[in-house]
A and B are shown apart, each in its own frame.
Chain A
Amino acid sequence: MSNSENPTPLDNLENIGEDVIKRLLELIEKTREDAYSCEEAYALLDEYVELVAGNEAAAQVMPLVERHLDLCPDCREKFEVLLQILQSDEGERP
């Protein structure tokens, strides 16, 4: 699957909007070398979500999870659904 067989939008710069470049730059800005992978963030997600649900300073306790969630929409969605589960059931709150 080379670029010549499968032309990418980069071949036509006119088609790419400023919004895309801004989004990319914002992602780059948040990127640090010592970032967690999805696996590392996922492993800590249950602990992290309990901190958030309990109004603890989750971002300070687990900054690398927080940062990963800022950069990874898939993991963020897992977090949001999980938080909604905890927050919608008094009985299951930590």
Chain B
Amino acid sequence: MNSNTILEEHIVKKRTNEEWLNELKSDGQVKDKALADLHHILVSGLRRGLLGRVNTSAPEFETQAEDFVQEAMLKILDNLDSFAGRSLFTTWAHKIAVSVALTELRRKRWQDTSLDGMMDTPDGVYTPSIVADSAPAPENATERKEMMAHVYRLIMEELTEKQRTALIKSVIQNMPTAQVAREMNMNPNAVYKLLHDARVRLKKRLLDEGLSPSDILSVFE
């Protein structure tokens, strides 16, 4: 891996979790060296982690990664006290950098794919996992149609308008949660919760009717 060549240029000191915390909370050269090392580790991490998802060898990637890591470092320094020490400090720091990077990249990716049209996503990230599935078997076509109509009816009857809107955007339009959140003016966690509650309600209703989701799915097989 090219991480070895990078490490030759920048020697990263090995630290325990405690050393990381102490040095990042200290002053002067000790702190500066810890910051420089952390910065190096996070940029290198994003380059490896995002390989295959974005073009990490494009010149603009360096600038982007730099921005992501800057933002992540601020969050990390602000939240040092919330680090519970149940993982390596670097894993925790990578988590924050990845979260910053993906949030930004998703925003961009969705804007780009929206311009291209939703059906045309070359990287396949937002195409449904089950598209291009088996051709319908003609023998139970009527049963399938009835089942679909029934599920639609449940969506209309059982869900609040907010739940329905989120579900339509997320499942039917296959929109990333972060984008649903922006369009609904909510935070992504709240959207996840809304979707979760919607699914719980639909599941309850189906079970009340003596139907399990797997029973219905078997109709489509």
Binding site for B on A (CB under 8 A): 1-3, 8-10, 13, 16, 18-29, 31, 33, 35, 37-39, 42, 45-47, 49-50, 71-74, 77-78, 81-82, 84-86, 88-89, 91-92, 94
Q: Which residues on A sit within 8 Å (CB–CB) of B167?
A: 24
**Among all A-B residue pairs, the 8 with the closest Cβ atoms:** A46-B87, A29-B213, A85-B49, A31-B199, A81-B49, A88-B48, A85-B45, A46-B91
**In the complex, how many residues of chain B place their beta carbon closer than 8 angstroms to a beta carbon of chain A?**
68
B3 touches A89 (CB 8 A): yes
Interface flag for B168 (CB, 8 Å):
yes
If A28-B203, A84-B51 touch, whether A21 touches B102 (CB-CB below 8 Å) is no
- B173→A85 contact, CB < 8 A: no
Q: Which among B98, B165, B168 is the interface contact of A81 at CB below 8 angstroms?
A: B98
- B176 near A73: Cβ-Cβ < 8 Å: yes
A28: chain B residues within 8 A (beta carbon): 199, 202-203, 206, 213
* Assembly CA distance A83 to B23 (angstroms): 26
Inside 8 A of A39's CB, which chain B residues have their CB?
Answer: 189
Q: Is the interface of B mostly helix, strand, loop or mixed?
A: helix
Besides A22-B133, A31-B199, A91-B7, 12 more A-B contacts (Cβ < 8 Å) are A1-B165, A8-B165, A8-B172, A10-B164, A28-B206, A31-B203, A45-B95, A46-B87, A50-B87, A50-B88, A81-B53, A89-B45
Given contacts A18-B148, A85-B98, A88-B1, contact A33 B200 (CB under 8 A): yes
Check B189–A94 contact: CB distance below 8 A. no
The answer on a CB contact under 8 Å between B88 and A21 is no
Q: Do B165 and A84 touch (CB < 8 A)?
A: no
**Mask of B180-214 contacts with A, CB within 8 angstroms, 1/0:** 00000000110011001001101100100000111
CA distance A24 to B189 in the complex (A): 19
Q: Is B130 an interface residue when CB atoms closer than 8 A count as contact? A: yes
Max chain A C-beta neighbours (<10 A), residue from B1, B136, B161, B199: B199
A-B contact pairs, 27 of them (CB 8 A): A1-B165, A8-B164, A8-B172, A10-B152, A10-B156, A10-B168, A16-B152, A18-B136, A18-B144, A20-B128, A25-B213, A26-B130, A28-B206, A29-B212, A29-B214, A39-B189, A47-B86, A50-B91, A73-B177, A74-B176, A81-B49, A81-B98, A84-B52, A86-B94, A89-B45, A94-B87, A94-B88
Which chain B positions have C-beta within 8 A of A88? 1, 3, 48-49, 51
CB of B77 within 8 Å of the partner chain: no
